[in-house]
Chain A
Amino acid sequence: AQSVTQLDSHVSVSEGTPVLLRCNYSSSYSPSLFWYVQHPNKGLQLLLKYTSAATLVKGINGFEAEFKKSETSFHLTKPSAHMSDAAEYFCVVSVREYGNKLVFGAGTILRVKS
């Protein structure tokens, strides 16, 4: 089976400070990993994806994530938060052996203070 744990349900940062959203996964096979963002009243948008190429993945809006197999982690980071980053972020795993269905974490709500 595969599962995703997002370690923080809420994260609050000040504008201009770093962002760290934590994600751990469990999978018996080599996973593909993704981060999606959901702004209020908007659809989910893909931020970045890891599919067994480079372990450090760069996404849109200055976000990046590092796949660490030894730690089964895929944390999302950004050097400097912007007000427009306030949203809910989902860590997602899929495994080819399970038909590539997306399995979502519970989500982390990011609040950015001015």
Chain B
Amino acid sequence: GAGVSQSPSNKVTEKGKDVELRCDPISGHTALYWYRQRLGQGLEFLIYFQGNSAPDKSGLPSDRFSAERTGESVSTLTIQRTQQEDSAVYLCASSTIGLAVYNEQFFGPGTRLTVL
């Protein structure tokens, strides 16, 4: 079946502009996660959704970052007033159950964001 999809695959923007990154999780997966992968580094946790609520936003690096999820499916990560330090690959993952019990997280291919 279809895996996790993300769009766009690549995004180039100018410093100061806002960007929206989209994630479509696997159908039926109630848990959704956003991660950031900077060049040469491992993934950093950003935010976790259980259904439409976000019980853990601890990884969001600043108030310029926000995310929402509607209908227990699609999620959007928004970065306002982008900075060059926001350049990274943004990865989305989904799983059947959330953080209370470990379940395998299935990852999308990511969105490569470049801020000029």
| A interface, CB within 8 angstroms of B | 4, 6, 9, 32, 36, 41-46, 49, 51, 90, 94, 96, 99-107
Contact = CB atoms under 8 A, between A and B. Distances in A.
- Counting contact residues on chain B (CB < 8 A from A), the size range is 20 to 34
Interface of B: 3-4, 33, 35, 40-45, 48, 56, 91, 93, 99-102, 104-110
Contacts of A46: 104-105
7 nearest interchain CB pairs? A104-B42, A44-B107, A104-B43, A43-B107, A100-B99, A99-B99, A106-B42
26 contacts: A4-B42, A6-B42, A32-B102, A36-B107, A41-B109, A42-B109, A43-B106, A43-B107, A44-B93, A44-B107, A49-B104, A100-B99, A100-B100, A100-B101, A101-B48, A101-B99, A102-B33, A102-B35, A102-B43, A103-B45, A104-B35, A104-B42, A105-B42, A106-B40, A106-B41, A107-B41
B109 A94 contact: no
